[in-house]
Amino acid sequence: MSTSPDDLRSPPLSRTLLAAAEAVQAVAQGRSLTDALAQTEARLRPGAQALGFHAMRQYGWAGEIAAQLVRKSPGPLFDALLRVSLALLRVPQPQPAQPAAPAAPAIGMPVYAPHTVVDQAVGAAAGQRRLAPYKGLLNACLRRFLRERDALEQAVAQRPRACWNHPDWWVERLRADYPDDWQRLLAAANVPAPLTLRVNRRRAGRDDVLAALRAEGIAAEPAGPAGLALAEPRPVQQLPGFEQGWWSVQDAGAQLAAPLLDVRDGMRVLDACAAPGGKTAHLLELADVDLLALDADAGRLARVEQNLDRLGLRSPRVALAQADAADPASWWDGRPFDAVLADVPCTASGIVRRHPDIRWLRRADDVARTAALQARIADALWGTVAPGGRLLYVTCSIFPAEGREQADAFARRHPDATRLEAPGQLLPIAAGATPAEQRDGFFYALFAKQS
């Protein structure tokens, strides 16, 4: 199939702005940004993804500024386009003493002259039927922002949503849970995460993968026992070794899970909440085990299968099942497991720098709801652990209600559970750290069942 000249040209900024606004609107209506972007035209998706993620990191500030500019929004898509445009106007401009640069390294967004952003945003509105009647209003709002920027920013500077770009309840919860660290945690959540790989030792050595990356001019450095952190994110399909299954994408903090279970050849292992399969694959890379991977979502379970196929880890000893981990009667054959990984559902408050829409999708009462679900799953899974076996409780949350408090309560409910050494609460490391030093937030608690 031939490639037309139109396919080779970058799409106009106006179309990228509109595509990003449609994805941001979807988040406001309760959909994940990833799911929304998956519906975006392929040619527009890379730019819309970069802009959409940036807009999510500026969503609170942009919303407060937008409220100063227009008393009543004409609709959710207008509101989303206004917020996305304001977020793009907030990308730092190159300093006069520096040569003009195509990107702002701090946040990885292209730099556009303010008048270009305004003109292209108005063009985006003009080309969309629902927005066309309001292109004049959008133009007026953005030009007023440029004229009165200092005063408008000062007016919202003390509002938590504008200052920290998190919902008010999230800010207050972190302030209560981490009185000494809450500001650092909120700031870290707005630092885009590096691309970290975990080398599949069944297919490649880390030194070999590192050499292949460097041969392609891709800077990377070792991170942890099996990881590689790239200096700059790249589309994974363009990295050497993707098709060959040399590696998986996995945060450095998440790479601690499988080794903690200390799996050995011949063990019977359960990954109770497996999707998308990163920890499942890691377990299979470490030992030849009989493994059952569960997930309640058939679509997400299919991703586990795809990842295992790419990594060359599918075998008759690996079974996948769509099932509710909290209901063993529906899936368990009664044979106990030597090791159980319980990476339970949570608010995902520890990975918001990687998924900045999460903070805007969650509600204050979600913490209590997920905590109740976590307790139910952990209690159900404990009954499947063999005497002398281990259960690893994991969340990608930094809220103690989903971590330390859960583990303490579990130990009180199960006197036959012996607490083993584990990292406990890992807080995110971001600002000021090298890519290899960075990680998301996780909680780990390891229990052994008394014989």
Residue 203: which domain range?
Answer: 195-250
pLDDT at 171: 98
Same domain, 298 and 245: no
Question: Other C-beta atoms within 10 Å of 144: how many?
Answer: 14
pLDDT (tens, 9 = 90+) of the chain, 451 residues, equals 344 444 447 899 999 999 999 999 999 999 999 999 999 999 999 999 999 999 999 999 999 999 999 988 899 999 999 999 999 999 765 544 433 322 333 345 678 999 999 999 999 999 999 999 999 999 999 999 999 999 999 999 999 999 999 999 999 999 999 999 999 999 999 999 999 999 999 999 999 999 999 999 999 999 999 999 999 998 999 999 999 999 999 999 999 999 999 999 999 999 999 999 999 999 999 999 999 999 999 999 999 999 999 999 999 999 999 999 999 999 999 999 999 999 999 999 999 999 999 999 999 999 999 999 999 999 999 999 999 999 999 999 999 999 999 999 999 999 999 999 999 999 999 988 999 999 999 999 999 999 8
pLDDT at 93: 54
Same domain, 299 and 384: yes
pLDDT at 431: 83
396 catalytically annotated: yes
The CATH number for 428's domain is 3.40.50.150
Same domain, 225 and 299: no
Same domain, 321 and 417: yes
* End residue of a domain, out of 165, 183, 217: 165
Q: Please tell me the total count of domains within the chain.
A: 3
Q: Is the pTM of this model over 0.95?
A: no
* End residue of a domain, out of 165, 180, 208: 165
C-alpha 387/C-alpha 259 separation (Å) is: 20
Phi, psi of 422 (to 5 degrees): -155, 165
Same domain, 56 and 39: yes
Same domain, 28 and 110: yes
Instruction: Assess if residue 433 is contained within a domain.
Output: yes
Using the structure block, give the residue that is written with the tokens 């098709």.
243
Same domain, 93 and 212: no
Same domain, 16 and 91: yes
Same domain, 398 and 298: yes
pLDDT at 10: 82
Instruction: Assess if residue 321 is contained within a domain.
Output: yes
Which of 141, 273, 346, 396 is flagged as catalytic? 396
